[in-house]
Structure 1
């Protein structure tokens, strides 16, 4: 018997002013999880990356997400053997990475422009670990208006064990490659310093996620 697969969209709500509010109002039965749950940014749901279940029968939801994808680089599409409550925290753990010998930063892989640059920036073991929870992951490249799929290589137990208790650590060369990719794609900050305290200022949620020192 084949293992069941589940389909999802990963929506970067910070790219749209009212996406989270519209999702909640138009699709109250939609199943989703914020990847910011359990992080210092947990209170920023309206600007969070949301993992949204997209079963085939939910055509209206999928069409709505496709329109958001065309409006701004903000949606990627995932197939995974894991259910939503299992997959979401696995992806949340992949938000964290280290630079400069221990500085914790947030990797913005929920932006399709950054996601598509990860396979060439990560080393082989990092790539196998990072994409281990999914069987397929694709996104629209906005400049070329072409859809690309990540080449998923199965992870080994050693890959999983390597990063079980520590985030991926990026070298200076990897960091520079991601920054170059982000600038070329129109995104200036592929990484964001992890704040020591949640932001409490008056800015809109979409602005909050762009504050802080560029990395």
Structure 2
């Protein structure tokens, strides 16, 4: 017998959590490789967005690149993202006071990592599964760098039906699990 897990969430509750601090901007970092229709949705939206990768990208790379999008609480794009992205590992959320240009500049610093062997690898921090593991193992220097221009990172934990919010207060990371009933 198969059991199906209900992964539906309350969208209004989700919005309240993401947009609860009026002095902050809410961004999504969306993985184009996970969302086949992302380019069309971005083009049709009235949102500010920018690719995290730099330079001229061919059409294939544009399709799989990560995008930083400034969200608007009740827009069609935001509702589409919240309704369809949950439990599909499409994105993480970022809260910041900074402009999209400054947030992009900051987040670009984390697109690659260098292994102990000196190999440079792509670091897909915008995948909620990777962000979850990274946040649980981050050291003090890494958290200082990561939260330099960011107030909070949020990512899904769909099997527990929760949105995880991570903030840095003083030198401590504060994790808050918000039930998404």
Same fold (TM over 0.5): yes
1:135 match? 151
Match of 2:66 in 1: 49
The alignment of Structure 1 onto Structure 2 pairs a total of residues equal to 148
Assess, with a 3 A threshold, how the Cα gap between structure 1 residues 49 and 129 changes in structure 2: closer, same or farther.
Answer: same
Q: In the aligned structure 2, how far is the partner of 1:71 from the partner of 1:117?
A: 16
Gaps of 5+ in 1: 156-215
Q: Give the alignment of 1:52-131 within 5 angstroms.
A: 52-56=69-73, 58-70=74-86, 72-131=88-147
Q: What is the CA RMSD across the aligned residues, in angstroms?
A: 2.2
Q: TM-score, normalised by structure 2?
A: 0.73
1:75 offset after TM fit, Å? 2.0
The alignment's TM-score, normalised by the length of structure 1, stands at: 0.62
Q: How far 1:71 sits from its partner (Å)?
A: 5.7
For 1:73 and 1:60, the matched residues in 2 are separated by 20
Aligned-partner SS, 1:102? coil
Tell me, yes or no, if the aligned pair for 1:87 and 1:133 is still in contact at 8 Å: yes
Instruction: Pick one of 31, 42, 46 that aligns with 1:12.
Output: 31
Alignment of 1:37 with 2:54, yes or no, is yes
From the superposition, tell whether residues 154 and 68 of structure 1 become closer, same or farther in structure 2 (CA, over 3 Å): farther
SS at match of 1:143: helix
1:148 positional shift: 0.6
Cα 1:154/1:8, change in 2 over 3 Å: farther
**Secondary structure at the counterpart of residue 89 of structure 2:** coil
Offset of residue 129 of structure 1: 0.9
Q: Decide which structure has greater strand share.
A: 2
Aligned equivalents of 2:110 and 2:96: distance in 1?
Answer: 15
